[in-house]
Structure 1
Amino acid sequence: MKLIKQSFDKNSSGFTTLMPQDKEDLWQLYNLIQKNDEIKLQTTRNVAKNATKGASKQERKNVVLTINVEDIDYAPEDEVMRIRGKTTVANEFVPIQSYHTAEIQLNKSITVIKTEWDEINYDIVVKSCSIESKAEIGAIVFEEGVAHLCLVTDNLTVLRNKIEKSIPKKRRGDNSSHDKGLVKFYDLIISTMMRNFNLDNLKVIILASPGFLSSNLLSEIKGFAQKNDDKTIFKNISKFVTANCSTGYLQGLEEVLKDENIRKNLADTQFAQEVIIFEKFQKLLNDDDETAWYGPKECERAIQEGAVKQLLITDTLFRNNDIELRKHFISLVEQVKQQGGEVYIFSSLHDSGNQLDQLTGIAVILKYSMDLYSDDEE
Structure 2
Amino acid sequence: MQIKSREQVEGGRERVEVVPESIDDLWHLQYVLEPGDRVAGDTTRRIQRNDEQMRDTGGEREPMWVAIAVEDIEFHKFANRLRVGGEIVACSREDQLGFHHTLNVEERDELSIEKRFKPDQEARLEEAEEATENPDVAIATVEEGAAHVHTVAQYGTEERATISGPTGKGDFARDRSELFDELAAVLDRMDVDAIILAGPGFTKQDALKHFEKNNADLTDLITMVDTSAVGDRGVHEVLKRGAVADVQQETRIESEAEAIDELTRRIAEGAKAAYGPEEVNKAAEYGAIEELLILDDKLRKERGPDGEWALDVDDIVRTAEQKGGEVTVFSSEFPPGQQLSNLGGIAALLRYRLE
TM-score range, shorter chain: 0.5 to 0.7
Q: Which amino acid in structure 2 is aligned with residue 297 of structure 1?
A: E
Distance 1:321 1:8 in 2: 24
% identical equivalent positions? 22
**Deviation of the 1:312 alpha carbon:** 1.1
Q: Counterpart in 2 of 1:185?
A: none
Q: Which amino acid in structure 2 is aligned with residue 292 of structure 1?
A: A
Whether 1:316 aligns to 2:297 is yes
Q: Which amino acid in structure 2 is aligned with residue 294 of structure 1?
A: Y
Q: Counterpart in 2 of 1:119?
A: 119
Q: Counterpart in 2 of 1:203?
A: 194
Distance 1:98 1:326, change over 3 A: farther
1:275 equivalent among 257, 261, 283: 257
Q: Is the 8 A contact 2:263 2:273 kept in 1?
A: yes
SS, match of residue 87 in structure 1: strand
Deviations 1:257-294 (A, max 9, x none): 9xxxx99xx7xx5542221011111112122x242221
Q: Counterpart in 2 of 1:360?
A: 344
Distance 1:206 1:302, change over 3 A: farther
How many residues get paired?
266
Q: Counterpart in 2 of 1:334?
A: 318
Q: Is the 8 A contact 1:317 1:329 kept in 2?
A: no
Distance 1:47 1:235 in 2: 44
Q: Which amino acid in structure 1 is aligned with residue 280 of structure 2?
A: C
RMSD across aligned positions (CA): 4.0
Ranges in structure 1 where 5+ consecutive residues have no aligned partner: 49-53, 139-152, 155-200, 208-214, 243-252, 372-378
Distance 1:89 1:234, change over 3 A: closer
Distance 1:364 1:91, change over 3 A: same
Q: Is the 8 A contact 1:8 1:117 kept in 2?
A: no
Q: Counterpart in 2 of 1:20?
A: 20
**Deviation of the 1:309 alpha carbon:** 2.2
- Structure 1: 4+ residue segments shifted above 6 A: 234-237, 323-327
Q: Which amino acid in structure 1 is aligned with residue 264 of structure 2?
A: Q
**Deviation of the 1:340 alpha carbon:** 3.0
Ranges in structure 2 where 5+ consecutive residues have no aligned partner: 49-53, 140-152, 155-191, 199-204, 206-222
Distance 1:230 1:290, change over 3 A: closer
Q: How does 1:1-378 map to 2 (within 5 A)?
A: 1-8=1-8, 12-47=12-47, 56-58=56-58, 59-92=60-93, 94-114=95-115, 116-130=116-130, 131=132, 135=136, 203-205=194-196, 221-222=226-227, 224-225=228-229, 230=231, 233=234, 269-287=251-269, 289-319=270-300, 320-322=303-305, 328-371=312-355
Q: Is the 8 A contact 2:34 2:304 kept in 1?
A: yes
Distance 2:268 2:136 in 1: 32
Deviations 1:171-209 (A, max 9, x none): xxxxxxxxxxxxxxxxxxxxxxxxxxxxxx9934599xx
